Structure 1
Amino acid sequence: MTAPLEGRTAIVTGASRGIGLAAAAGLHAAGANVVLTARTREAAEAAASTVGERALGIGAHATDQTRARACVDRTMETFGSVDILVNNAGTNPAYGRVLSQDHARFAKTFDVNLWAPVMWSQLVVEAWMQANGGSIINTASISGLAPDPDLGLYGASKAALIFLTQQLAAELGPGIRVNAIAPGVVRTRLAELLWKDHEPEVAGRIPLKRIGEPEDVAAAIVFLAAPSSSWITGETLVIDGGQRLGATIPDVTAADFRAGDSAGDRT
């Protein structure tokens, strides 16, 4: 059976660890050539070495336009196309209430989480996708879908990224599809503050009773990159184990149910 992404090439930003690295590995397993970027060349090359022979690591900070352009140029020279872009690089230096943040943290959050996806999308569209089509996938967050007292600025940047996904899908169709994924709490360094010291409690509030793994999110990214999702654009796919459903119903055994029924409590 032919791999669904055989012959295609993907760039994944922020791919030295976590969701980015898992996405790169998933795309590679699906047959794609993969370029992994990270802030340093050493980190990018080390990550690429774990992915496979069709993986290339390039040092390019997400907001550095000169390095980003060089990365796209080298991708074209090495593999001949840029069919998939995963805008995964993200940051959150602004944990806490919105009005406690300063301009430096505001600017860094929006530069990395919103401007970088715009810039990288511009570059790959100009280099390949405008003439040949492609798929762009943005890593948003469920924090962009509802307020959170400690993630307000981060959530605002991700809400803007979700809107940007819709806007670019409208502008770039029909040849280029643009979608986003919105993970919940995932076992990554960026999200450690949300789970590291109290994982059982966090997992207990999720219907599927566990926090996410990077591979859970990577599978969704591969799906959105593949031809099997060819009629999907402008959408945000939530991957959160049911976290947005809120507090779950306590476990009730069959014996509990029968006891309540016999007492006339069933409605």
Structure 2
Amino acid sequence: MVSKRLVRPQAPGGSVQGLAGKVALVTGASRGIGLGIAQRLVDEGAKVCLTARKPEALEEAVATLGGPDHAIAVAGKADDPEHRTDAVRRTIDAFGSLDLLVNNAGINPVLSMLVDIDLGAARKIVEVNALGALAWVQEAHRAWMGEHGGAVVNISSVSGVKPAPGIAMYGASKAMLISLTESLAVELGPTVRVNAVAPAIVKTQFAGPLFEGREQEVADSYPLKRLGVVEDVAGAVAYLLSDDASWVTGQTITLDGGVTLAGGH
């Protein structure tokens, strides 16, 4: 069954500039933040390739976005080299370019203090969340952006900006992603811009364990008195990918409703 199309609030000032006709690849895009970003990019006139692990969920996501005239899907694991190569090739074959990359795929398979965490799980977190994102940039750069330019946004986390007990390994991987963002921005300029966003708790299935059953209690620790929604992240990502941000690179925008200023997590 096809889900209802995502509806985003109209931002003051209208659309961002320069996304119409562009081609984007968004990882981890079958639901949640990734799908919200893909929806915003399609709304702005871009074509999008979605990647994620589950083919059925991707098919539903493509239908939500308006079908193959607007989006295609390539199923696979974000840390699989063959999947990355295939997804990038199929994006270029379908739409003629690869102008934009959003590294949204991420995992957090354990809730654990660092002193107790299984090191195998820790390696997997870093492999997917940081090294996987780097590998996607390498693939996109080799196939298209190195010659034609482009823009990249990495989805980090507020846990990469300040300590987050219980998800500290996830936070460490996201801090590494911020560092990679800064170094890639220096290395790939002037033709490729690389930025990041660092959301606090956004109301998605992925973040559910952090707020379910106590949403109002958690929200009350935020100066804006609410948790994030996917549209909050999608709007920031669309800006960073757009021509409106043509003089912005190597930056991480913290999207947190003010919670880090207030001393929360």
Scaled by the length of structure 1, the TM-score of the pair is 0.90
The answer on 1:89 being equivalent to 2:73 is no
Which residue is equivalent to 1:10?
24
CA contact (8 A) 2:17 2:242 kept: no
Change (3 A) 1:3 1:229: closer
The corresponding residue for 1:109 is 125
Q: Is the Cα contact below 8 Å between 1:206 and 1:247 reproduced in 2?
A: no
1:78 paired to 2:94: yes
Deviations 1:191-215 (A, max 9, x none): 1111111000011010111000011
How far does the alpha carbon of each residue in 1:99-146 deviate from its partner, in whole angstroms, 9 at most, with x for none?
111122111101110111111101100111011110010000000011
Instruction: Report SS of the residue matched to 1:22.
Output: helix
Q: Secondary structure at the residue paired with 1:99?
A: coil
Distance in 2 (CA, whole Å) between partners of 1:204 and 1:22 is 25
- Of the two structures, which has the highest relative contact order with CA contacts closer than 8 Å and spacing of 6 or more? 2
Could you tell me which residue of structure 2 aligns to residue 127 of structure 1?
143
In the TM superposition, residue 42 of structure 1 has moved relative to its aligned partner by 2.1
Structure having the higher Rg: 1
More moved, 21-30 vs 33-42: 33-42
Partner residue, 2:177 = 161
Task: State the Cα RMSD in Å.
Answer: 1.4
Corresponding letter in the other structure for 2:74: I
1:57 corresponding residue in structure 2:
73
What's the CA shift string for 1:34-85, capped at 9, x where partnerless? 0111102222221111012411111021011101101110111111100000
Q: 2:35 aligns with which of 9, 17, 21?
A: 21
Paired residue secondary structure (1:117): helix
User: Using the alignment, how far apart are the partners of 1:18 and 1:154 within structure 2?
Assistant: 18
In 1, distance between residues paired with 2:249 and 2:113? 33
Kindly indicate whether the alpha-carbon contact (under 8 Å) linking 1:92 and 1:154 is maintained by their aligned counterparts in 2. yes
Q: 1:160 to 1:26 in 2, by over 3 A?
A: same
Structure 2 Cα separation of the partners of residues 35 and 152 of structure 1:
31
1:35 paired with 2:60, answer no
Structure with the higher fraction of residues in helix conformation: 1
- 1:182 to partner: Cα distance: 0.2
What is the SS of the residue equivalent to 1:100?
coil
> Cα distance, 1:153 vs. partner?
0.5
Q: What is the number of equivalent residue pairs in this alignment?
A: 248
Superposition deviation, residue 14 in structure 1: 0.1
- C-alpha displacement at 1:2, in angstroms? 9.8
CA distance in 2, matches of 1:237, 1:224: 9
Shift in Å at residue 3 of structure 1?
Answer: 6.5
Structure 1 residues 2 and 153: alpha-carbon distance in aligned structure 2, compared to 1, 3 A threshold: closer
Matches within 5 A, 1:93-242: 93-242=109-258
Q: 1:2 to 1:157 in 2, by over 3 A?
A: closer
Kept in 2, the 8 Å contact 1:183–1:240? The answer is: yes
Q: Structure 1, unaligned stretches of length 5 or more? A: 249-267
Task: Confirm or deny: 8 A CA contact 1:45 1:58 kept in the other structure.
Answer: no
Q: Which moved more, 1:214-223 or 1:41-50?
A: 41-50
Q: Deviations over 1:235-265 (max 9, x none)?
A: 00111111111269xxxxxxxxxxxxxxxxx
Q: 1:130-184: per-residue Cα shift (whole Å, max 9, x none)? A: 1111001000000001112211101100000000000100100000000000001
- Residue 111 of structure 2 aligns to a residue whose secondary structure is coil
Report deviation, 1:94. Answer: 2.6
Q: TM-score if structure 2 supplies the norm length?
A: 0.91
Distance 1:104 1:136 in 2: 29
Aligned partners of 1:238 and 1:226: how far apart in 2?
Answer: 18
